[in-house]
Amino acid sequence: MNLTSQQCKKINKNLPRMTDDQWKMLFRLLRNKTEPSVNDHFPSKRYSFENTLYTYTGESEWFRYAQFINDILRVIRSGEEDYCFKVEHIIDLLKFEHDRLQAEWIPSESCFKVFINI
C-alpha cells in the first residue's frame, strides 16, 4: 500500500478520536490494500533506485526502524503481544503477517496492541 506521508499523518492525527468500529474498518482496508512481502522480516538493508545495495556500517535510522519492526515480529510470532504507535508500523507488520496480524487501537495509551492468530 502506498499511503503518502501526508495521508499517514492525517490518519495518525485522527486516531485518538477514532471509535473501535472505525479502527476495525480502517484495519480491514489496510489489510486489503497491503501487498504481502515475499520475505519473512523487514530488510535491514535498503536498495537505491539504481538497485545498488547500500550497506550501512553504523546504526542508521533505517536499520533501527528495521530492528523495531523485526523485534515486534519476533515477539508476536512467539505468541505474545507487543505495541506500536503509528499506522505506518501496522502497514509494515501487515507485509510480513498479512493474514494473521491483529491490531487493537488503545486510545488511553495512544498505541496499538498487536498480536497474531496462531
At 1 the pLDDT is 54
Between strands 82-84 and 111-116, the pairing is antiparallel
At 9 the pLDDT is 81
What's the CA gap between 7 and 64, in Å, rounded?
23
Tell me whether residue 46 is in a domain: yes
Tell me whether residue 73 is in a domain: yes
Tell me whether residue 1 is in a domain: no
Written as tens digits, the pLDDT of the chain (118 aa) is 567 778 878 888 888 788 888 899 999 999 999 999 998 888 876 554 455 555 545 567 888 899 999 999 999 999 999 999 999 999 999 999 999 999 999 988 889 999 998 7
Among candidate residues 26, 36, 38, 30, the one with its CA nearest the CA of residue 97: 36
At 2 the pLDDT is 65
Q: Which residues on neighbouring strands pair with residue 54, listed in sequence order?
A: 46
Q: How many domains are contained in the chain?
A: 1
**Which whole-number Å values give the CA distances from 75 to 3, 82, 107, 115, in the listed order?**
26, 7, 22, 8
Tell me whether residue 4 is in a domain: no
At 49 the pLDDT is 44
Q: Which residues form the domain of 102?
A: 16-30+39-116
Tell me whether residue 63 is in a domain: yes
At 46 the pLDDT is 57
At 117 the pLDDT is 83
CA-CA-CA-CA torsion for 117, 115, 95, 51, nearest 10 degrees? -130
